Amino acid sequence: MVRAVARFGDDDGDEDRQLRTDALPAMRSARVRVRLMVLSGPDAGHSYPLAPGRYRVGADPGSDVVIADRAVSRSHLLLDVREDSIQAVDVGSRNGSFCEGMRFTTLEVRAGAVLTLGTTELKLVPEGEKAHALPLSNRERFGNLVGQSRRMREVFTLLERVAQGESDVLIQGETGTGKELCAEGLHLHGARSKGPFVIVDLAGVAPQLLESELFGHVKGAFTGAQADRAGAFERAHGGTLFLDEVGELPLEVQPRLLRALERRQVKRVGANDYRSVNVRVVAATHQDLEGAVKANRFRGDLFHRLAVLRATLPPLRERPEDIPLLIDTVLERMGKPPSALSDQTRALLAQYPWPGNVRELRNVVDRVVSLGESALPDMPDAPRPRPAPSPDVNNPEDTLSLALELPFKEAKERLIEGFERDYLRTLLERCGGNVSKASREAGIDRVYLRKLLRKHGLVSGPD
Ligand SMILES: Nc1ncnc2c1ncn2[C@@H]1O[C@H](COP(=O)(O)OP(=O)(O)OP(=O)(O)O)[C@@H](O)[C@H]1O
């Protein structure tokens, strides 16, 4: 029998595995439409192009996709790749096959789904889509950033690689997702870890002082400049400069930052000469910077210069698996044992959508630990469905039967929407309608809180 080997090019650096094509139906010569990426386990990083056809996945060396994972059966899974769908069938494996936490025997797999076999995670990526093709890091912490979800382990893989380089980095993510910790982690894991780590919160500096803060000034350059002062770039020499809220930088200062990034030279305000600096810049924003570029609020050339490398931190609501570890981490940082929070409280906390992300979670844990669990009534008891239906939503059975009438995704969204609205209404009432106070109390960014309040019709008017 002739054994043909198919090899498909891939320029993302992942190892493309040779796929045995003996005994394959003729269909396999068709155009490749999907790629099987091995995200974790002993074969992490391998990738298999799958044309329509049937593929045996297992530890048996004769399988089409060989997985050398001791928890994977010799004959574990059959993948039936068709023109318009993919079916996965567990062929009597010892440890089972799972998709997003659910065990299955036969499953219509959607593109992008992750299948778990033993300790191995497999992702089916549509052809041409290289997103999320990163193997998963084994770590649960990067610097002080912790996480065990797949999303965070993807981020850790990226950060491990990025930390080794010298290029500037842009970190994006909603408020409270850990952008500052991420920048600190890049510094600690990189070659500059012995140098300084300097933070400038660009949203917190008065616009007229921004240039001086970044580039320094000479004595007498402006009223109050009583002595020469080095700016953040000079102070970060040999280390890392973290520019937080870079989206807030006024347009008139942006060309000077661009120049500093391109030439690695800065001029103190009031000085004539430039000084060279050796700095790695890590910038962060919770804004949609591409949108700001389109709206002419942020220079496109500066954006491209900053975003040489980009990392995006996922919001906490998209990785609830991280909540238990984050709670333990917060407690540990407070010097409290895990038992400081009851299982019941933890279960409640695990249900929240956390619009203020990890910062909000930290604040809530702090409040509950300091004030006792009686502080929890400030938070809703349970998510409720929307719109208010006739059954008693306080009765878990009614809530569940309502939810069961809907597809899972829709039911979950409606429960979360209902919770969000009730939480915000109560919060606003408690703060006498003062949005700034409400934002502080809940640990939610004020602009984001306004957006949420407007979404639920609880305030009106512009931003
Ligand atoms: N993954 C994480 N692991 C541990 N702690 C975290 C994590 N993410 C955030 N935190 C904690 O949450 C708080 C907010 O984090 P951080 O300041 O890094 O967020 P941020 O994204 O920079 O927020 P902002 O956009 O508002 O500046 C900090 O107390 C930080 O220690």
Q: Which CATH number goes with the domain that contains 430?
A: 1.10.10
Has residue 387 been placed in a domain? no
Mapped onto helix, strand or coil, the DSSP state of residue 124 is strand
Which residues have a Cβ under 8 Å from the Cβ of 300 and sit 6 or more positions away? 293
Report which protein residue has its CA nearest ligand 1's atom 26.
Answer: 175
Last residue of one domain, picked from the residues 102, 126, 150: 126
Report which protein residue has its CA nearest ligand 1's atom 16.
Answer: 178
Residue 197 CA to ligand 1 centre (angstroms)? 17
Q: Are residues 342 and 369 in the same domain?
A: yes
What CATH number does residue 55 fall under? 2.60.200.20
Q: Which atom of ligand 1 is nearest to the CA of 329?
A: 4
Residue 162 CA to ligand 1 centre (angstroms)? 19
Report which protein residue has its CA nearest ligand 1's atom 9.
Answer: 178
Q: How much is the pLDDT for 398?
A: 43
Q: Are residues 172 and 277 in the same domain?
A: yes
Has residue 8 been placed in a domain? no
Residue 286 CA to ligand 1 centre (angstroms)? 12
Report which protein residue has its CA nearest ligand 1's atom 8.
Answer: 178
348-376 CB burial, b ≥16 within 10 A, e <16:
bbebbbbbbbbbbbbbbbbbbbeeeeeeb
Residue 447 CA to ligand 1 centre (angstroms)? 17
Instruction: Indicate if the pLDDT at residue 14 is higher than 50.
Output: no
Residue 361 CA to ligand 1 centre (angstroms)? 10
DSSP at 332: H
Instruction: Indicate if the pLDDT at residue 108 is higher than 60.
Output: yes
Has residue 9 been placed in a domain? no
Q: Are residues 269 and 417 in the same domain?
A: no
DSSP H or E run through 162: helix 150-164
Q: Which atom of ligand 1 is nearest to the CA of 173?
A: 21
Last residue of one domain, picked from the residues 76, 95, 126: 126
Q: Are residues 198 and 263 in the same domain?
A: yes
| Strand ranges, E, within 335-444 | none
**Pocket of ligand 1 from Cβ distances under 6 Å:** 144-147, 173, 175-181, 244, 284, 286, 326, 329, 358-359, 362
Residue 104 CA to ligand 1 centre (angstroms)? 36
DSSP H or E run through 122: strand 120-126
Report which protein residue has its CA nearest ligand 1's atom 2.
Answer: 145
Report which protein residue has its CA nearest ligand 1's atom 30.
Answer: 178
Residue 402 CA to ligand 1 centre (angstroms)? 36
Q: Are residues 86 and 153 in the same domain?
A: no
Which residue from 182, 150, 463 is spatially nearest to 318, judged by alpha carbons? Answer: 150
Q: How much is the pLDDT for 231?
A: 96
Q: Which atom of ligand 1 is nearest to the CA of 178?
A: 18
Q: Are residues 70 and 156 in the same domain?
A: no
Q: What share of the chain is helix, strand, coil (3-state, %, to 5)?
A: 35, 20, 45
Q: How much is the pLDDT for 224?
A: 84
- C-alpha 109/C-alpha 82 separation (Å) is 11
Mean pLDDT computed over every residue of the chain? 81
Residue among 140, 141, 181 to mutate when testing ligand 1 (max atoms within 8 A of CB): 181
Task: Specify the pairing of strand 275-276 against strand 97-99.
Answer: unpaired
Q: How much is the pLDDT for 35?
A: 86
Average pLDDT value for residue range 64-84: 92
Q: Are residues 292 and 346 in the same domain?
A: no
Average pLDDT value for residue range 280-288: 95
Residue 227 CA to ligand 1 centre (angstroms)? 35
pLDDT level of residue 402 (50, 70, 90 thresholds)? very low
Report which protein residue has its CA nearest ligand 1's atom 7.
Answer: 178
Residue among 141, 149, 177, 364 to mutate when testing ligand 1 (max atoms within 8 A of CB): 177
- C-alpha 220/C-alpha 359 separation (Å) is 41
Widest distance between CA atoms in the chain = 87
Q: Are residues 151 and 105 in the same domain?
A: no
Q: How much is the pLDDT for 327?
A: 96
Distances in whole angstroms, Cα of residue 171 to Cα of each of 159, 253, 460: 10, 20, 32
Has residue 23 been placed in a domain? no
Least confident of 65-74, 133-142, 214-223: 133-142
Q: How much is the pLDDT for 131?
A: 47
Q: Which atom of ligand 1 is nearest to the CA of 175?
A: 25
Average pLDDT value for residue range 356-360: 92
Residue 355 CA to ligand 1 centre (angstroms)? 13
Structure tokens at 87: 């079916």
What CATH number does residue 364 fall under? 1.10.8
Q: Are residues 146 and 283 in the same domain?
A: yes
Residue 352: domain span? 317-375
Q: Are residues 300 and 326 in the same domain?
A: no
Q: Which atom of ligand 1 is nearest to the CA of 146?
A: 3
pLDDT level of residue 88 (50, 70, 90 thresholds)? very high
- Angle between helix axes 323-333 and 357-371 (nearest 10 degrees) is 60
Structure tokens at 281: 């810049």
Has residue 248 been placed in a domain? yes
pLDDT level of residue 237 (50, 70, 90 thresholds)? very high
Residue 255 CA to ligand 1 centre (angstroms)? 29
Number of domains observed in the structure of the chain: 4
Strand partners, 216: 230
Report which protein residue has its CA nearest ligand 1's atom 15.
Answer: 178
Q: Are 44 and 57 in contact (CB under 8 A)?
A: no
Residue 317 CA to ligand 1 centre (angstroms)? 14
pLDDT level of residue 403 (50, 70, 90 thresholds)? low
Has residue 10 been placed in a domain? no
Q: Are residues 411 and 281 in the same domain?
A: no
Which residues have a Cβ under 8 Å from the Cβ of 118 and sit 6 or more positions away? 41, 67, 69, 70, 71, 72, 95
Has residue 132 been placed in a domain? no
Has residue 3 been placed in a domain? no
What CATH number does residue 176 fall under? 3.40.50.300
Phi-psi category of residue 434: left, alpha or beta, with phi > 0 → left and psi -120 to 50 → alpha: beta
Say how many CA atoms lie within 13 Å of 364 toward its Cβ. Answer: 28
Least confident of 22-36, 98-112, 159-173, 217-231: 22-36
Length of the chain: 463
Report which protein residue has its CA nearest ligand 1's atom 18.
Answer: 178
Identify the residue with better confidence: 436 or 132: 436
Q: Model confidence over 157-195: pLDDT tens digits?
A: 999 989 998 889 999 999 999 999 999 999 999 999 999
DSSP at 211: H
Q: How much is the pLDDT for 374?
A: 63
Residue 160 CA to ligand 1 centre (angstroms)? 19
Q: Are residues 163 and 236 in the same domain?
A: yes
